[in-house]
Amino acid sequence: MKRLIAFDLDGTLAESKQPMEPAMGEALADLLGVADVAVISGGDWPQFEKQVATRLPERADLARLWLMPTTGTKLYTFGSGAWQARYAEIFADAEKRRIFEAFDAALLATGFVPETVWGERIEDRGSQITFSALGQEAPIDAKEKWDPDFAKRKVIQAELRQRLPGLSINMGGATSIDITREGVDKAYGLTKLSGASGVELGAMLFIGDAIFPGGNDYPAKALGLNTISVHNPEETLGIIGIIVACLK
């Protein structure tokens, strides 16, 4: 029987960088009544706070919720009335500069330089550097149209892998590419979660929208976890309902 249900965030629990809908918050509260829940994604803590932590109803059992920003290189749990960081792994300044330079060079080399950009394209999340092709503040409709089949990002990803050997480079969200230290992906984060939570990997189920080779959810499948692929939060809602009914 599964004891912990882990989710990707953008495209799975919520639209890209948007708060979860009230129905999703209620569904997660139901799920927390029968299992531990983890959310692991490339966003940093402020994004998790906006999208997840503040969108749950009062009845939700937060003691059973594990929030894992920046692909699991950070872990937050709830205790003494507040969310607290359990650990955080941070890039060195020299590593960050190397990554920033590689992003600029890769975009020029591939020719995928958007005409319109909303906000900063590169975000330093401490333990992860994230490239958002259209900028951090891009509207959802523009993001969904830019690279719906991941084709553009696969080309950029291949270029970055040549320029940044020794780092993990994975696609996520609607327009994003996440860079972490080598070996740091959702498999790494979920393995660390197993140690922190005491829940063995075989008792975990992972749900995400990028469970394909090169997608940032695929490492969970490669790790050997049971996984469920979804296309949007609406599908996730239906699956949560089924899981709650089964675990009850």
Residue 160 is part of a domain; what is its CATH number?
3.30.1240.20
Of 181, 209, 231, the position where a domain reaches its end is 181
Catalytic residue flag (residue 8)? yes
Judge whether 176 is annotated as a binding position: yes
Is 178 annotated to bind a ligand? Reply is yes
State the pLDDT at residue 113: 80
Shared domain for 102 and 174, answered yes or no, is yes
Domain total in the chain: 2
Q: Are 210 and 172 in contact (CB under 8 A)?
A: yes
8 labeled part of a ligand binding site: yes
CA angle 202, 204, 206 (to 5 degrees): 125
CATH number for 34: 3.40.50.1000
Do the Cβ atoms of 146 and 174 come closer than 8 Å? yes
Are 222 and 103 in a shared domain? Answer: no
Q: Are residues 105 and 154 in the same domain?
A: yes
168 and 221 assigned to the same domain? no
Structure letter (DSSP) for residue 20: P
Same domain, yes or no: 72 and 192: yes
> With contact defined as beta carbons under 8 Å apart, do 73 and 88 qualify?
yes
The token pair that represents 43 in the structure block: 């966003």
Question: What pLDDT is attached to residue 127?
Answer: 85
User: Is position 147 annotated in a ligand binding site?
Assistant: no
Q: What is the pLDDT of residue 11?
A: 94
Q: What is the pLDDT of residue 34?
A: 98
User: Is 162 in the same domain as 234?
Assistant: no
Domain that holds residue 167: 93-181
Contact 33, 220 (CB under 8 A): no
> What is d(CA 93, CA 6) in angstroms, rounded to the nearest whole number?
31
Quote the pLDDT of residue 5.
98
pTM for the whole thing? Answer: 0.78
Q: Tokens 């803590």 — which residue?
A: 45
What single DSSP character describes residue 212? S
C-alpha span between 219 and 235 (Å, rounded): 21
Amino acid identity at 56: L
**Which residue ranges of the chain lie beneath pLDDT 50?**
none
pLDDT of residue 174: 83
User: Annotated binding residue at 149?
Assistant: no
- Final residue in a domain of this structure, among 141, 166, 181: 181
Residues 62 and 28 sit within 8 Å (Cβ to Cβ): no
The encoded tokens of residue 238 equal 């239906």
Q: Are residues 85 and 188 in the same domain?
A: yes
In this structure, are 152 and 212 located in the same domain? no
pLDDT at 154: 93
CA atoms within 13 A on the CB side of 216: 33
Q: Is 181 exposed, middle or buried (0-12, 13-18, 19+ CB in 10 A)?
A: middle
Co-location of 81 and 191 in the same domain: yes
**Could you tell me if 37 and 146 lie in one domain?**
no
The CA angle 61-66-71, to the nearest 5 degrees, is 155
Burial class from Cβ neighbours inside 10 Å (0-12, 13-18, 19+) for residue 100 reads middle
- Contact predicate 73/128, CB 8 Å: yes
To the query of whether residue 10 is one of the catalytic residues in this protein, the response is yes
91-123 per-position pLDDT tens digit: 889 999 999 999 989 988 998 888 889 999 898
pLDDT score of 114: 80
Catalytic residue among 8, 30, 44, 147: 8
**Region for residue 227 given its phi and psi (left: phi exceeds 0; alpha: psi -120 to 50; beta: otherwise):** beta
Any idea what the Cα angle at residue 6 is, between residues 87 and 195, rounded to 5°?
A: 45
Q: Greatest CA separation found in the chain?
A: 53
- 127 and 165 in a single domain? The answer is yes
Q: Are residues 80 and 188 in the same domain?
A: yes
Which of 147, 163, 181 delimits the end of a domain? 181
